[in-house]
Chains A and B, each alone.
Chain A
Amino acid sequence: MSAVAAQAVSAAAPPSGPLHHRIAWHLRHDPKRELWLAWGALVVFYNIFFPVFFIVAQVQPPPQPTWDLATQVHWFHERHLGIPVGFGVIFAISGMIATNNALIAYSMRRMSVSRAFGYSYLLIYSFSAVPGMLLLNIALVVGTLRPERDPEAIGWLYDFAFLSFDGTMGVFLIGSLIWMLAILLDKNRVFPKWFGYLNLCNALTEVVVAPCWIFRRGVLAWNGQIAWWLDMVVFGIYQVTFIVMLFRMIQREDFADGPLPDRVRQKAVGQ
Chain B
Amino acid sequence: MSDVGGVDAAPRRGAPRRTDGERILLWTLPMTVIIWIGCFVLFPGFNPPMSPSLSAEQVAAFYRDPAHLPQIRYSMIVFNWFGVCLVPVLTLIVLQIRRMAHRTPIFSYAMLGCVAGGPTLFLVANVCWLLAAFRPERSPELTQLLNDFGWITFTIVVPFLIGQSVILALAIYFDDQPQPIFSKWVAHFNLLVAAALVPAAFVGVSLTGPLAWDGFLTFWVKNLAIAVWIIVMGVVLGQAIYRERAENRPHGDELASA
Contacts and interface: CB of A to CB of B under 8 A. Distances in A.
Contacts of B159: 90-95, 129, 134
B163 A96 contact: yes
A127 B116 contact: yes
* B117, B141, B161, B198 — most chain A CB neighbours (10 Å): B117
B103 interface: yes
Interface residues of B, number: 50
A131 B145 CA distance: 19
Contacts of B207: 145-146
B158 A92 contact: yes
A90 B8 CA distance: 38
* B106, B107, B111, B162 — most chain A CB neighbours (10 Å): B106
B195 to A, nearest CB: 10
Contacts of B158: 91-92
A89 B201 contact: yes
A122 interface: yes
B29 interface: no
B7 A126 contact: no
Contacts of B205: 81, 84-85, 88
B110 interface: yes
B163 A94 contact: yes
A38 B153 contact: no
B121 A130 contact: yes
Describe A's contact surface by its main secondary structure: helix
Contacts of A21: none
Interface stretch (A136-144, A194-202, A205-213): A136-144
A141 B104 contact: no
Interface residues of A, number: 60
Contacts of A257: 1
Interface string B117-155: 100110010000000000000000110110011001100
B204 interface: yes
Interface string B53-83: 0000000000000000000000000000000
B156 interface: yes
B109 A101 contact: yes
A155 to B, nearest CB: 11
Nearest to B160: A95
Contacts of A139: 149
B166 interface: yes
A137 B156 CA distance: 10
B106 A142 contact: no
Nearest to A28: B176
B164 interface: yes
Contact of B202 (A88, A95, A126, A150): A88
Contact of A37 (B52, B161, B170): B170
17 contacts: A32-B103, A38-B110, A84-B202, A91-B158, A92-B201, A97-B163, A98-B111, A109-B105, A134-B156, A138-B149, A141-B204, A145-B204, A146-B148, A146-B207, A149-B144, A149-B145, A256-B1
Interface of A: 1, 4-5, 8, 31-35, 37-38, 81, 83-85, 87-99, 101-103, 105-106, 109, 118, 122-123, 125-127, 129-130, 134-135, 137-139, 141-142, 144-146, 149-150, 153, 156-157, 255-257
